[in-house]
Amino acid sequence: MTPVPSSPATPVPAARPAGEEGRRAGRDRHLPLLDARGAVDHAGAAARFTAQGDRTTWHDGALWFVREKRDRAASAVEEWEALRALASAIKAHTLSRLDDYLVQFERAATARGITVHWARDAEEHNAIVHGILAASGARLVVKSKSMLTEECGLNPYLEGRGVEVVDTDLGERIVQLRGEPPSHIVMPAIHLTKAEIGETFHERLGTPAGEDDPDRLTLAARVHLRERFLSADAAITGVNFAIAETGGVVVCTNEGNADLGMALAPVHIACMGIEKLIPRAADLGVFLRLLARSATGQASTVYASHVHAPRHGQAMHVVLVDHGRSAQLGHRDFWQSLKCIRCAACINTCPVYRRSGGYSYGSTIPGPIGAVLNPGRDLRRYATLPFASTLCGSCSAVCPVQVDLDAQLLKWRAQVVQGGHVAAGKRWGMRALRTVLADAEWLQLAGRAARTALRLFPARVARRLAGGWGIARALPPAPARSFRDWYRQRRAGGA
């Protein structure tokens, strides 16, 4: 339903102005609660999501469909693995001298008449964007999909200052009309059914009650959005790639909404995380071949628009945003996560995401990449996310820039423990487990006790005692002897 990404990002809704309390409450009602330790309660939110069995079935199926499309698209490119390796190497190289490339980009962009701004964090980013809009007296802004502006909490910031922001990506407009955040970075409304969208459009756009035909709903959105495009004072877009050599940016969409916005409005502001850079125009093809195939299984996005200068009479700005990226870049174990091009392939393939829903991650970017990026921003708040994975490794296998996501998830788990973000009970439990697992005699003793208990307790009682295991799982049958017991007896001539 929606296009391919636009912008960079990492998580954490920025502080929102007081005037936005009502809206924030509306958006936050979809986000998971924090647990007793102040961390996102992913397991709790996932439990609520899976309790709606049909929705889980359908959500899982919708994303699996996208994953299979990706598989077919990727397997149609003979040199797919070579492309992945090349893209990964280009990103690694760029990140290794990001400071140089950023300055080169600024110089080239400035020479083309683009004004370049530098933002240390979300607050600076929002203030810069608002400053540009205020200076031109803009009251209505059309915005194409940008996970960076979502990460920075730009919409509520601007709305609190009297600027109306209309998200023009269809999926984003749907969730905006519902007062919800996106649940996915490429398909923001993937958690909604046609009927739910029909209901929202009936309430907000006046479509007939009960209308859930996708074509008619899309047409209604088109008419509604067209009015905003024609009267917008400014257009904000994300950026998929910024080219240091040329000073231009590339924006990929399926709906052409970014193009229409920036073609019509007198002011264009492109917002990007600093990791969106690639060195040369010649590198772009490598990424364009990977991006759409990885994201939606398309050979190419419908639009891949190159913006290298303002139109005649238009003002064009690029805002370069750090917001925690430099810190992540400086982290020996996690800098590779900045290679991410926000295709969401890891999210679509993740068997946990498909069954827990985007909101369970409590951040703009969900799924495996979210669970790797977010802890770098706030380890305490996102301490649970690295554990929201079976470490099946499918994420790493699909990543078009070869981020070793499952390995990074494991490394974050160690950081969470070292940082003291696990419950004392777990700490003690692990200490006891170490004693048992390190020593064969302890293991035999503990195992014998456990197997005896399994035989003695009625199955229902045993399941209750088994905590999380027992919620909907029988306990294993308890053999009379361990393998070592059997082996000893055999050696003694018994078995």
Which residues within the stretch 342-371 sit at the binding site for another protein (CB under 8 A)? 349, 351-352, 355-356
* Residue 391 makes contact with another protein by CB under 8 A: yes
Of 30-38, 174-182, 183-191, 436-444, the segment contacting another protein by CB under 8 A is 436-444
Among 78, 137, 206, 494, binds another protein (CB under 8 A): 78
* Residue 46 makes contact with another protein by CB under 8 A: yes
Q: What letter represents residue 393's amino acid?
A: G
Within 455-474, the residues that bind another protein by CB under 8 A are 463, 467-469, 471-474
Query: Which one, 219 or 471, has the nearer CB to another protein?
Result: 471
Q: Are 321 and 158 in contact (CB under 8 A)?
A: no
* Residue 431 makes contact with another protein by CB under 8 A: yes
Among 103, 430, 456, 465, binds another protein (CB under 8 A): 430
What does the alpha-carbon distance between residue 320 and residue 340 come to, in Å, rounded to a whole number?
Answer: 17
- Least distance to another protein, CB of residue 5, Å: 20
How remote is the C-alpha of 160 from its chain's centroid? 26
Q: Are 149 and 155 in contact (CB under 8 A)?
A: yes
Of 49-57, 257-265, 297-305, 314-322, the segment contacting another protein by CB under 8 A is 49-57
- Least distance to another protein, CB of residue 205, Å: 35
* Residue 36 makes contact with another protein by CB under 8 A: no
- Least distance to another protein, CB of residue 41, Å: 11
* Residue 206 makes contact with another protein by CB under 8 A: no
Among 18, 36, 209, 440, binds another protein (CB under 8 A): 440
User: 118 forms bridges with which residues in the sheet?
Assistant: 320
Hey, CA dihedral for 97, 95, 381, 240, is it positive or negative? Answer: positive
Among 34, 62, 264, 397, binds another protein (CB under 8 A): 397
* Residue 67 makes contact with another protein by CB under 8 A: yes
* Residue 447 makes contact with another protein by CB under 8 A: yes
- Least distance to another protein, CB of residue 474, Å: 4
* Residue 299 makes contact with another protein by CB under 8 A: no
Burial class (CB in 10 A: 0-12, 13-18, 19+), 135: exposed
Of 253, 289, 341, the C-alpha closest to 76 is 289
* Residue 374 makes contact with another protein by CB under 8 A: no
- Least distance to another protein, CB of residue 481, Å: 6
Query: Which one, 311 or 451, has the nearer CB to another protein?
Result: 451
* Residue 58 makes contact with another protein by CB under 8 A: no
Q: Are 258 and 223 in contact (CB under 8 A)?
A: no
Among 10, 176, 253, 394, binds another protein (CB under 8 A): 394
The size of the interface with another protein (CB under 8 A), counted in residues, is 78
* Residue 424 makes contact with another protein by CB under 8 A: no
Hey, CA dihedral for 47, 68, 278, 257, is it positive or negative? Answer: negative
- Least distance to another protein, CB of residue 244, Å: 32
Hey, CA dihedral for 179, 362, 198, 2, is it positive or negative? Answer: positive
Query: Which one, 218 or 415, has the nearer CB to another protein?
Result: 415
Within 235-294, the residues that bind another protein by CB under 8 A are none
What does the alpha-carbon distance between residue 364 and residue 340 come to, in Å, rounded to a whole number?
Answer: 15
Of 27-35, 274-282, 363-371, 380-388, the segment contacting another protein by CB under 8 A is 380-388
* Residue 34 makes contact with another protein by CB under 8 A: no
